[in-house]
């Protein structure tokens, strides 16, 4: 898979690969995966075309993403595209639908287009599937039926709503894999160690969607090893009066110093809401119970 970054109308792809699958692909969820599988099954080789920044994120910096571009790259690999093209969105956002199509045709040699039914492009999102068919031809543009979860169309918006409610198991069903957060371990206030449950404090990309505050059963990937753990997302109301959200993970049967290490937390199950306890002893008892419950399951 060859990766083209910051692609503009000044760039050209020499390979003659006419099949192009286009989309934002935030999360690369099951709906996206079906489209990618359909493209692969219909073509000897194909290109994936997406954007360096999701259009929704460009116009609203508060919009949260399900995946970074690096995570997308890893998820795309299993579909074995010949090329992965990240279009410079700022460069093309004011293109007319015609100019955008010309770029696909002339710069990427695109002839057969694969998109979702709701794909929009061009200035003010004026381009759609019908426009693509007018430009490339009725039989050169391919879509698939919406992929559903419990009679709801799977979308990045639906998955974010699951995460906002702590429904990480529902998110997994829609994504086709466990939702995860990757970050760097930073120094915290040592509260966890003081009460017998040392934690790794995680600093993550601020653009990424964080699940609802609370306690989660997790797996932790560190240095290619997978550990069981428990994660708290929130404000630690029992021991702190601050308003800074923290992400802390206690890794079971693990005592190494991992400051500055990168790790990935895979969310398996929501355990409970974050609670303000009347004493540290109550907090310790509850954490012990949470860990016991996780180990039972």
Let me know whether 148 and 183 are in one domain.
Answer: no
Let me know whether 183 and 147 are in one domain.
Answer: no
Query: Are the beta carbons of 120 and 146 closer than 8 angstroms?
Result: no
pLDDT band at 220 (very low <50, low <70, confident <90, very high): very high
pLDDT at 190: 62
pLDDT at 22: 98
pLDDT at 82: 98
- 24-56: pLDDT as tens digits: 999 999 999 999 999 999 998 999 999 999 999
Let me know whether 127 and 213 are in one domain.
Answer: no
Let me know whether 16 and 147 are in one domain.
Answer: yes
Residue 80, both tokens: 């074995």
How does strand 180-186 pair with strand 152-153? Answer: unpaired
Let me know whether 6 and 79 are in one domain.
Answer: yes
Let me know whether 145 and 185 are in one domain.
Answer: no
Let me know whether 70 and 117 are in one domain.
Answer: yes
Query: pLDDT at residue 192 above 60?
Result: no
pTM listed for this prediction? 0.93
pLDDT band at 1 (very low <50, low <70, confident <90, very high): very high
**Residue 174 in domain:** no
pLDDT at 283: 85
User: Which residues are CB-contacts of 63 (< 8 A; sequence separation ≥ 6)?
Assistant: 54, 56, 57
- 68-87: pLDDT as tens digits: 999 999 999 999 999 999 99
Let me know whether 135 and 196 are in one domain.
Answer: no
**Residue 190 in domain:** yes
What average pLDDT does the segment 276-282 reach?
79
Label residue 253 left, alpha or beta by phi (over 0 means left) and psi (-120 to 50 means alpha). left
What average pLDDT does the segment 143-164 reach?
93
**Residue 127 in domain:** yes
Let me know whether 136 and 191 are in one domain.
Answer: no
Let me know whether 128 and 189 are in one domain.
Answer: no
Q: How far is CA 159 from CA 104, 153, 178, 230, in A?
A: 30, 10, 12, 22
Let me know whether 105 and 206 are in one domain.
Answer: no
**Residue 161 in domain:** no
pLDDT at 195: 60
pLDDT at 205: 94
- 250-263: pLDDT as tens digits: 999 888 889 999 99
- CATH number of the domain enclosing 281: 2.40.30.30
What average pLDDT does the segment 156-162 reach?
97
- Other beta carbons within 10 angstroms of residue 264's beta carbon come to 17
What average pLDDT does the segment 182-205 reach?
80
> Among all chains, which residue has been given the structure tokens 């466990």?
178
Least confident range from 93-102, 105-114, 246-255: namely: 246-255
Least confident range from 160-169, 177-186, 252-261: namely: 252-261
**Residue 106 in domain:** yes
What is the edge-to-edge ordering of all strands in the sheet holding 19-22?
2-7, 83-87, 47-51, 19-22, 112-114, 141-142
Q: Cα(198)–Cα(264) distance, rounded to whole angstroms?
A: 17
Strand partners, 253: none
Let me know whether 47 and 131 are in one domain.
Answer: yes
**Residue 242 in domain:** yes
**Single residue among 113, 134, 152 that ends a domain in this structure:** 152
What average pLDDT does the segment 150-177 reach?
96
Query: pLDDT at residue 229 above 60?
Result: yes
**Single residue among 152, 167, 187 that ends a domain in this structure:** 152
Terminal Cα distance for the chain, rounded: 39
Domain count, the chain: 2
**Single residue among 152, 171, 204 that ends a domain in this structure:** 152
**Residue 171 in domain:** no
Segment of 111-125, 178-192, 243-257 carrying the highest mean pLDDT: 111-125
Among 153, 156, 166, 142, smallest CA distance to 40 is for 142
pLDDT band at 144 (very low <50, low <70, confident <90, very high): very high
User: Which residues are CB-contacts of 213 (< 8 A; sequence separation ≥ 6)?
Assistant: 233, 234, 235, 245, 273, 274
**Residue 173 in domain:** no
What average pLDDT does the segment 272-278 reach?
84
Range of the domain at 116: 2-152
Residue 203, both tokens: 């600093």
- CATH number of the domain enclosing 148: 3.40.50.620
Residue 196 CB burial class (10 angstroms; 0-12, 13-18, ≥19): exposed
Q: Cα(286)–Cα(290) distance, rounded to whole angstroms?
A: 6
Q: How far is CA 230 from CA 35, 78, 200, 250, in A?
A: 35, 30, 11, 5
Mean pLDDT of the residues in the chain: 93
């Amino acid at each position: 898979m060859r990766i083209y970054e910051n692609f503009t109308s000044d760039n050209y792809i020499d390979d003659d690969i006419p099949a192009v699958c286009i989309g934002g692909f935030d999360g690369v969820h099951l709906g996206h995966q079906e489209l990618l599988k359909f493209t692969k099954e219909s073509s000897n080789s194909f290109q994936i075309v997406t954007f360096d920044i999701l259009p929704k994120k460009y116009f609203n910096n508060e919009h949260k993403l399900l995946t970074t571009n690096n995570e997308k790259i890893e998820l795309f690999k299993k579909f074995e595209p010949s090329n992965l093209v990240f279009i410079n969105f700022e460069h093309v956002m004011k293109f007319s639908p015609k100019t955008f199509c010309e770029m696909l045709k002339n710069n990427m040699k695109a002839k057969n287009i694969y998109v979702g039914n709701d794909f929009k492009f061009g200035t003010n999102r004026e381009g759609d599937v019908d426009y693509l068919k007018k430009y490339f031809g009725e039989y050169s543009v391919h879509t698939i039926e919406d992929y559903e979860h419990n009679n709801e169309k799977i979308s990045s918006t639906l998955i974010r709503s699951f995460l906002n409610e702590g429904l990480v198991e529902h998110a997994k069903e829609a994504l086709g894999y466990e939702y995860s957060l990757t970050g760097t371990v930073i120094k915290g206030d040592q509260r966890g160690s003081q009460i017998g449950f040392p934690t790794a404090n995680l600093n993550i990309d601020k653009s990424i969607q964080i699940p609802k505050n609370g306690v989660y059963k997790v797996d932790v990937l560190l240095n290619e090893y997978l550990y069981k753990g428990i994660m708290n997302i929130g404000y630690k109301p029992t021991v702190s009066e601050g308003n800074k959200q923290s992400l802390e993970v206690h890794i079971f049967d693990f005592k190494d110093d991992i400051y500055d290490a990168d790790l990935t937390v895979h969310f398996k199950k929501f355990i409970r809401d974050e609670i303000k306890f009347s004493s540290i002893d109550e907090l310790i008892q509850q954490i012990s119970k949470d860990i016991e419950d996780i180990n039972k399951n």
